[in-house]
Copies of this chain bind each other. A is one copy, B any other.
Amino acid sequence: MGRPKKILNNPANVVTELLDGLVLAADGGLVRLDNRSVLVRPNIPKGKVGLIIGGGSGHEPLFSGFVGDNLADAAVCGEVFAAPSPDQILDAIAAVDSGAGVLFVYGNYAGDNMNFDIAAELAEEEGHTVRTVRVWDDVAAAPLDRITDRRGIAGDFFVIKVAGAAAATWSDLDEVYRVACKARDNTRSMGVALAAGSIPETGERTFELPDDEIEIGMGAHGEPGVSRQKLTTADDIADQLMQLILADLPFKAGDEVALLLNNLGSTTLMEMLIVNRRVRNILAEAGITVHRTDIGSFLTCQEMAGMSISLMRLDDELKRFLDAPARSVGYSKA
């Protein structure tokens, strides 16, 4: 395959330009800290628990697009596929913490873990209280007994959505942390990749897949998954992904879930709806009811072709926070 064409100016400036564009797209709902890749909600109420999210750029709308009403208070954005540095994270803490403390929610990657940990340690030295929820929803990344080795993928959305609504409701960091952990612990995801995305700065695809092959479980940066195989049908792909997801938590008859279908980049909504049809049949047969469906682009990997499926098992508390209205550039629900 040739190099994908992109609409860019200087590829070295993509992050700063996209953040400026994002601030403008928010029509007043976002500010950017001076000379920083940090987006902050203006007018954060005093005494609110601050929700800070972040990670490498290139996965838009996550993370930068999820700062808004009932969502995150700030996003700290690294360069493309690179965790942000501690000094930026510290600036975000200073901008959002008015005393109630700060919750970090981010995907479980070595780079993010280390940079956010460094920032948390420095911030605590300065008197901030910081709690961290690392999202590790990707079933493909490690066996269940090493769940803390798993990557965070589109399930980030569920945790951010729940934590955002909880942080808008409660002013107690421990409570927000508790419910964010519950969201994380009840979420499982699996993805499939058909073709690679490319990094703007190099123009190179992050991996190569033969023309007739797909990879089940491939990560959001093209990290290898559980099996490479010939391109098969939508139903077969849905069956494979769902089998791994359902068996892992495990999800059981009688469970009520939220369903998230995430576009990794260039897959059409048509394809995702066709997969949804099968997913719902599988869930119905398993006796699992779907409380709500979100479908679209949440965590992308540039123009990667592929998608992921996430399920979160619900209780009344999770439902309440998931169903709260929300509004940001990347996600809005009445």
Contacts and interface: CB of A to CB of B under 8 A. Distances in A.
Given A21-B275, A21-B277, A303-B305, A211 B2 contact: yes
Contacts of A18: 269-270, 273-274, 277
A306 to B, nearest CB: 8
Contact of A27 (B61, B267, B290, B296): B290
A95 interface: no
Interface string A295-312: 111001011010100000
Interface in A170-226: 192, 194-195, 197, 200, 211-212, 214
A280 interface: yes
Interface in A68-127: 69
Contacts of A295: 25, 329
Interface stretch (A4-12, A44-52, A131-139, A148-156): A4-12
Contacts of A9: 233-235, 274
Contacts of A194: 5-7
Contact of A270 (B57, B296, B334): B57
Contacts of A291: 27
A22 B297 contact: no
A273 B234 contact: no
A300 B334 contact: no
A199 to B, nearest CB: 11
